[in-house]
Amino acid sequence: MGERRRILVTGGAGFIGSHLVDLLLGRPDVEVTVLDALTYAGTRRNLLAHEGDPRFRFVRGDVADPAAVEPLVAEADHVVHAAAESFVDRSIEDPRRFVVTNVLGTQVVLEACRRARAPMTFVSTDEVYGENAPEGRFTEDAPMRPRSPYAASKAGADLLCGAYAVTYGTLVTIVRGTNTFGPRQHPEKAIPTFVLAALDGRPLPVYGRGEQRREWLYVGDFVRAIAVVMERGEPGTAYNIGGGRELANLELAREICRLVGAPEELVTFVPDRPGHDFRYGVAWDRLAALGWRPEVPFEEGLARTVAWYRDHRDWVAEILEGART
Ligand SMILES: NC(=O)c1ccc[n+]([C@@H]2O[C@H](COP(=O)([O-])OP(=O)(O)OC[C@H]3O[C@@H](n4cnc5c(N)ncnc54)[C@H](O)[C@@H]3O)[C@@H](O)[C@H]2O)c1
């Protein structure tokens, strides 16, 4: 029997992290350790399918704590660093938390990877580029002009990855992904907020006039992109993940009403987010050259997502309960 590949996934109890764990454990030759602090955003329930699998292990710990991180990195063949504070609105309320987890936490993971000579893939975001003009597409070489504390903290982490690659030769690849959606996304994020409101017949809160545009990629495609970069990406290189459906937030809310069968009059406007980026937009030719293509059409992904939230109200109640404690 061949050696199994040992992969450490930080933030694996969160939305994207848990889908990545599903993908990786679908392969027979892989072992996965999840390191996650279980903040309001993470729950072991997202990993329930793997409890009891001898190829899966969960460790509760903080990525900004070297004592938690170093021993796990030391025994890993590859690290995917996805743990983060991830919600822009919370970063406007409490930027410090974002600097500690996203910047310091990434430095701690990088340092452990440097010492152990472990390859690492960092899950960054297209928000590091700042907002974009209509139809514009950022390449990976575009300058970073982050505008929210969240985006700035991710840019700091992303730049540290580049610096570790150049200075120490750390084998780090970076993915800068567009907005993603699907089952198990925290209910504070846009699509679950709209879906749950539409299902309950409550108002769908749309920021400003709903003109801001976002590109939505189904989470299954997003985590396949992470895995492709993990396996075939060039160390020291960043890869944009695009290929989603771009639409204005107002169109998105109306589309969800249509899908759920809720009246469009439920869509209501609420005061805009300060410094709300108009749109992002990335060129993803570099990722395409590694052989990745999106596979799940937006309508299909959205229908799956609506069905999942309709059937998992207990999950929603539990994670919202966690957010209060
Ligand atoms: N959701 C998106 O649309 C999107 C798009 C591009 C990039 N990203 C990036 O992808 C990653 C995952 O995003 P998500 O949407 O799954 O976020 P999420 O908030 O659902 O999950 C984050 C996870 O990280 C854990 N965590 C938070 N702080 C931690 C700490 N200090 N130590 C250990 N674990 C900690 C949480 O408990 C949670 O399980 C993030 O790095 C985010 O910046 C997200």
- For the CA of 40, the nearest atom of ligand 1: 37
| Candidate list 31, 85, 126, 277, residue with the active-site label | 126
Give the whole-number percent of the chain exceeding pLDDT 70.
Answer: 98
The Cα 50–Cα 31 span in angstroms is 11
pLDDT at residue 277 in the model? 84
pLDDT at residue 169 in the model? 98
**Residue type, position 60, single letter:** R
The Cα 290–Cα 302 span in angstroms is 26
Superfamily of domain 5-185+215-245+278-297: NAD(P)-binding Rossmann-like Domain (3.40.50.720)
Residue 74 backbone dihedrals phi, psi, to 5 degrees: -60, -30
- For the CA of 241, the nearest atom of ligand 1: 6
pTM, rounded to two decimals: 0.97
- Please report, for the chain, the start and end positions of each structural domain, with discontinuous segments joined by +: 5-185+215-245+278-297
Residues having CB within 6 Å of any atom of ligand 1: 10-11, 13-17, 36-39, 41-42, 62-64, 82-86, 101, 105, 123, 125, 154, 177, 179-180, 186
Give the residues of the chain that fall short of pLDDT 50: 1, 325
- For the CA of 13, the nearest atom of ligand 1: 39
DSSP secondary structure letters along 81-127? E------HHHHHH-HHHHIIIIIIHHHHHHHHHHHHT--EEEEEEGG
Residue 233: DSSP 8-state: P
Q: Mark whether 150 is an active-site residue.
A: yes
pLDDT at residue 278 in the model? 87
pLDDT at residue 64 in the model? 98
**Atom 5 (ligand 1) nearest CA:** 179
The Cα 31–Cα 51 span in angstroms is 13
**Residue 258 CB partners (closer than 8 Å, separation 6+):** 264
Out of 19, 39, 122, mutate this one to test ligand 1's pocket (max ligand atoms within 8 Å of CB): namely 39
pLDDT at residue 252 in the model? 97
